[in-house]
Structure 1
Amino acid sequence: MIRVVVADDQVIVRTGLSILLGAAKDITVVGEAANGEEAVRLTRSLRPHVVCMDIRMPVMDGITATGAITADDSVHTGVLILTTFDIDDDIFSALEAGAAGFLLKGADEGTLLDAVRSVARGDGTLDQRLTRRILREFGNRRQATPPAPHASRMSQESRTAPDGGPTDPLPAPLTARELDVLHLLAEGRSTAEMAAHLFVEQTTVKYHLAGLLQKTASRDRLQAVLWGFRNGLVELPDR
């Protein structure tokens, strides 16, 4: 069962989400929080797989709470941000705080359930209406303060050169296969799709993905993609 904590200061919204999520056979709501401080406390005591977190709450906002949860090495909880506000700054702040996913509250039931399952698996998720704009804005911000020159199809030598490596230090250079996986993640490919594209078994993809996540200190696939954009190793597709 996927254990979930729902954090929202509006009782009706919080209760509605709890009922909706609890009706799924593979999800159970283990706690509800009316503010970010309660969400952090419940996460540390209940160890849920996912916290569905509102952004704007009293006492402690959802972004601060997300940062507190993801910075705590004693818990392994993914944070799915749910908000009615389509605001870029909030999206970036939440992702930078370590959120594993972002959905607008207007998303349908199936999308919400799929998002919770995806975050629980460690895959991460973004509302499809926001993804392209978010990644494009990441690219714009990167160009405003460019790191060392990169291109998404560079040779392995230039990727790992001291004067051309990622701006975020790595414990070891990414392998060619780990870079392939990073590029495919940025295209939104699933594990099965990556395996088919690379002509390898899914277990092999998972092995390289684990290496990618470990080296980039990413909690999930979404954070790895954002790391790639921030460091100029992947680019937003034209379409």
Structure 2
Amino acid sequence: MSGERIRVMLVDDQPLFSAGLKMILRSQPDLEFVGEAGNGEDACLLATETAPDVILMDIRMPRMDGITATRRILAGETQGVRIIVLTTIQHDEAVVRAIQAGASGFLTKDATPEFLLATIRTVHSGHAVMAPSAANELLRDYTTPRAGNESVLEGLTAREKEVFLLAASGRANGEIAAELFLGEATVKTHVANVLGKLSLKSRIQLVSFAYEHGLLQANTGN
């Protein structure tokens, strides 16, 4: 499996920008460019046809925006696909909605080719491309939390709740391990269990979940 190329699909309605991205993607021996779409509707169809590993998804497009397309693709039959949304500005409310829809992270359109390629490979390996601490700032500014309600965490053990709140507040695994006197491997296992129990795809979504349910305000003072 490690020798297989990463299948990448592109969704953007700007031909010149798309042409540049395709050149970059096709220049990499470990990447396979499998197709492009210019709007969200076509993206949903193309994702089913090509089964990409990673999709670069513009947010603002005609016919169907990238947020709606992200939600539909991740709810569909394409297994294991990860989506990176593309935006012109970093501090963008639409990025928050894309994360809430299931995106694994985002890139600004002025990112360097090197950062673009590193992001694709990082996301494909199952890691987030936006630090939880950065996600905190964005989500704090653009999320309207519901009333704090810890009932959504009832399926977690007491230790998992502790790990959840620390991870949601932006702590890295090493920091959580030091604070709870645990090994980093144990923290990593707890985080994976929390994501599974809450049906979340990434730590970024974990941060979003905490803000949406008012759990950070209620428990960490953020």
Common fold: TM-score over 0.5: yes
Match of 1:111 in 2: 115
1:110-164 deviation per Cα after TM superposition (whole angstroms, max 9, x unaligned): 332232233223333338996454122256x22xxx413xxxxxxxxxxxxxxx5
- Percent identical pairs in the alignment equals 39
C-alpha deviation, 1:200, in angstroms: 4.5
Unmatched 5+ stretches in structure 2: none
Indicate if the aligned counterparts of 2:177 and 2:183 stay in contact, CA closer than 8 A.
Answer: yes
Match of 1:52 in 2: 56
Unmatched 5+ stretches in structure 1: 149-163
Equivalence map 1:15-164=2 (5 Å): 15-72=19-76, 74-86=78-90, 88-126=92-130, 131-138=135-142, 141-142=144-145, 146-148=146-148, 164=149
Equivalence map 1:191-210=2 (5 Å): 191=173, 200-210=182-192
Residues 215, 132 of structure 1: alpha-carbon distance in 2 compared, 3 angstrom cutoff: closer
Match of 1:157 in 2: none
**Is residue 212 of structure 2 the alignment partner of residue 230 of structure 1?**
yes
Give the TM-score taking structure 2 as reference length. 0.79
Match of 2:6 in 1: 2
C-alpha deviation, 1:53, in angstroms: 0.3
Q: Which amino acid aligns with 2:11?
A: A
Residues 204, 107 of structure 1: alpha-carbon distance in 2 compared, 3 angstrom cutoff: same
Give the TM-score taking structure 1 as reference length. 0.74
What is the aligned length? 217
Residues 238, 116 of structure 1: alpha-carbon distance in 2 compared, 3 angstrom cutoff: farther
SS of equivalent residue, structure 2 residue 192: helix
Indicate if the aligned counterparts of 1:102 and 1:126 stay in contact, CA closer than 8 A.
Answer: yes
Equivalence map 1:157-196=2 (5 Å): 164-166=149-151, 169=152, 172-186=154-168, 188-191=170-173
C-alpha deviation, 1:94, in angstroms: 1.7
**Is residue 204 of structure 2 the alignment partner of residue 219 of structure 1?**
no
C-alpha deviation, 1:218, in angstroms: 0.6
C-alpha deviation, 1:24, in angstroms: 3.8
After superposing the two structures, state which structure 1 stretch, 18-27 or 223-232, moved more: 18-27
Whole-angstrom CA distance in 2 between matches of 1:233 and 1:24: 42
Indicate if the aligned counterparts of 1:54 and 1:62 stay in contact, CA closer than 8 A.
Answer: yes
SS of equivalent residue, structure 1 residue 219: coil
Whole-angstrom CA distance in 2 between matches of 1:200 and 1:45: 45
Q: Which amino acid aligns with 2:43?
A: A
Whole-angstrom CA distance in 2 between matches of 1:135 and 1:62: 19
SS of equivalent residue, structure 1 residue 118: helix
